[in-house]
Structure 1
Amino acid sequence: MSARPETEVPFYFGPESALFGLFHASATPARKAVLLCPPLGQDQIRCHRLYRQLAQALAAEGIAVLRFDYYGTGDSAGGSVEMDWQRCLADTAAAANELRARSGVDRVLAFGARLGGSIALASAAQARLAGIVAWDPVLDGRAYVAQLDAMQSALRLDGQRFMVPRKADDVAAQWLGFAISDGFRQQLANLHVDRPAAPMLLLDSLASDAPPSWGGFMIDAAAVRRMESATPWNDPRRLEVAILSHPLIQAVTQHVREAA
């Protein structure tokens, strides 16, 4: 087993040291800093390796990076049933300040996939983000909840994974193996994300059968970049498959490198 590079430092921070973070020091004195806002639930697990690869690519460019987990997710304190939208936004602001303190760079940009992109957008003012790269962010909370419910239903009846279909009541408060509260479900159903004042790039890799509605959100069409390969976010047959995209890493790294 290879040792963790010295430039990849794990630590706890935030109120009561409840949040887990991994700071990636830049290979040279940091010129910029990027906060990686993770998605939630199964998406977070599937994107874990990509986030690490992205952090390493950015650090090699002289960019300090912080990966972190919101309260109730990953290696942070709390359970998934305690997830709260407003807490996610507050945790993002705390993480941005932690990154500023560790890197010595005040101007922090953020990257986020799916709900991670939504959280970055919604917390832009609170976290004082100087720019955002959002990858397939969730803008329609009600449609997103419906997608998760559909995948949960398909998983419950999946004969390839379970010899006997599980009862609906046994998994009614779950999304793909993660316990959720009624309150958090309602928060997501009511989700409305306004376009932040910060400059942004939107990376679109949604499947052709789920056409995006970026037009009402993005004023500048040039700020939307279509990725060649669709990402199977909503395919229950591929829930155990890691989401990896070298073109995505290259696009984000180039954008941050060129950002003013």
Structure 2
Amino acid sequence: MKARIEAELPFYFGPGKELFGFYHPAAAVTGTAVLLCPPFGVEQIRCHRLYRQLAHSLAESGLPVLRFDYFGTGDSAGDSHAFEWPRCLADVATAAAELRLRHGGGRLLAFGARLGANAALAAAQTARLDGVVAWDAITDGAALVRQYDSMEASLKVDLNRFEVARPDLDVSTQWPGFETSERLRSQLLELRLLDPGIASAWLTSSSPDEASRLGEPYASRQVGVDVAPRWDDVNGLELAILSHPLLEAARRHLKEMA
């Protein structure tokens, strides 16, 4: 009977202990570990339970896991206004080094959803990743910024969530549920999908939005997954994303890369 691994060790790490993470040890050492890179903002919240389930599943199958929060997100130091893309990529490299230290070396893979996928791919060289499984990676940063702006504009006048409309709220400083900055906005406007030339799997939801629609040369390499999170649907902001097909697809590709 396969041992069930439920242990998860919360801790702070990084040069100033400013990053927060959970380490999930594996029952047996396989020589490979997995770094889970989260998406940003409300998408991180919607994926929280899915990431935890994936971490437990991978640990049970022999792959130790580190899931973490970037600086300015989750339980890491800094407020949401401090989140920016270059620091995000540096945090991926810091988390990879921490996982390698705890795991004892060996191969290191990563999984990321949305901007988490972009972060893993963009930081793959500095983090010395051996493979990445990307789910609904952002292919058009400008489209993502438009999407966040449109969702925030809808929230201003959403009387299902708020007692009164807030038409004077400046959407340029807010994205769904989180404060943002002009610095991050400019960085994401220039964002493009990077292929680091390592082992990769491109998972795509059944109904991709404009920001994550894969073009050539990625379209021919995509793996469809029967899950429709509707990232751009304001009505789904409070809905957690739970998908056994997605979990199984991510686990299978990571095990194949291991």
TM-score by length of 2: 0.93
Which secondary structure does the structure 2 equivalent of 1:151 belong to?
A: helix
Partner of 1:234 in structure 2? 232
- 1:195-221 deviation line (CA, Å, top 9, x unaligned): 1111100000052674954232428x2
Q: Sort the Cα spacing of 1:187 and 1:206 in 2 relative to 1 into closer, same or farther, 3 A.
A: farther
- 1:10-69 deviation line (CA, Å, top 9, x unaligned): 111112110001000002224310000000000000100000000000000000100001
Distance (whole Å) between structure 1 residues aligned to residue 177 and residue 105 of structure 2: 38
Partner of 1:133 in structure 2? 133
1:115 and 2:115 matched: yes
Q: Sort the Cα spacing of 1:30 and 1:7 in 2 relative to 1 into closer, same or farther, 3 A.
A: farther
Partner of 2:191 in structure 1? 191
Partner of 2:223 in structure 1? 225
Q: Sort the Cα spacing of 1:24 and 1:211 in 2 relative to 1 into closer, same or farther, 3 A.
A: closer
**Would you say the 8 A contact 1:30–1:103 is kept in 2?**
no
Distance (whole Å) between structure 2 residues aligned to residue 94 and residue 137 of structure 1: 21
Q: Sort the Cα spacing of 1:215 and 1:177 in 2 relative to 1 into closer, same or farther, 3 A.
A: closer
**Would you say the 8 A contact 2:31–2:107 is kept in 1?**
no
Distance (whole Å) between structure 1 residues aligned to residue 95 and residue 64 of structure 2: 13
Partner of 1:251 in structure 2? 249
Q: Sort the Cα spacing of 1:206 and 1:123 in 2 relative to 1 into closer, same or farther, 3 A.
A: farther
Distance (whole Å) between structure 2 residues aligned to residue 75 and residue 217 of structure 1: 37
Distance (whole Å) between structure 2 residues aligned to residue 102 and residue 163 of structure 1: 49
Which secondary structure does the structure 2 equivalent of 1:215 belong to?
A: coil
**Cα RMSD (Å) of the superposition?**
1.7
Number of residue pairs aligned between Structure 1 and Structure 2? 254
Q: Sort the Cα spacing of 1:41 and 1:244 in 2 relative to 1 into closer, same or farther, 3 A.
A: same
Q: Sort the Cα spacing of 1:173 and 1:83 in 2 relative to 1 into closer, same or farther, 3 A.
A: same
Q: Sort the Cα spacing of 1:138 and 1:156 in 2 relative to 1 into closer, same or farther, 3 A.
A: same
AA of the residue aligned to 2:151? M
TM-score by length of 1: 0.92
1:105 Cα shift?
3.2
Taking only the aligned residue pairs, the percentage that are identical comes to: 51
- 1:231-252 deviation line (CA, Å, top 9, x unaligned): 2111100100101111111111
User: Which moved further from structure 2: 88-97 or 24-33?
Assistant: 24-33
Partner of 2:39 in structure 1? 39
Distance (whole Å) between structure 2 residues aligned to residue 209 and residue 22 of structure 1: 30
Match runs of 1:163-174 below 5 Å: 163-174=163-174
AA of the residue aligned to 2:234? P
Q: Sort the Cα spacing of 1:118 and 1:68 in 2 relative to 1 into closer, same or farther, 3 A.
A: same
Q: Any stretches of 5+ residues in structure 2 without a counterpart?
A: none
Partner of 1:162 in structure 2? 162
Match runs of 1:55-134 below 5 Å: 55-134=55-134
AA of the residue aligned to 1:76? S
AA of the residue aligned to 2:248? Q
Which secondary structure does the structure 1 equivalent of 2:112 belong to?
A: strand
**Would you say the 8 A contact 1:46–1:241 is kept in 2?**
yes
**Would you say the 8 A contact 1:136–1:206 is kept in 2?**
no
- 1:110-155 deviation line (CA, Å, top 9, x unaligned): 0000110111111111111100000001120000000000110111
Distance (whole Å) between structure 2 residues aligned to residue 8 and residue 33 of structure 1: 15
**Would you say the 8 A contact 1:206–1:212 is kept in 2?**
no
Q: Sort the Cα spacing of 1:45 and 1:61 in 2 relative to 1 into closer, same or farther, 3 A.
A: same
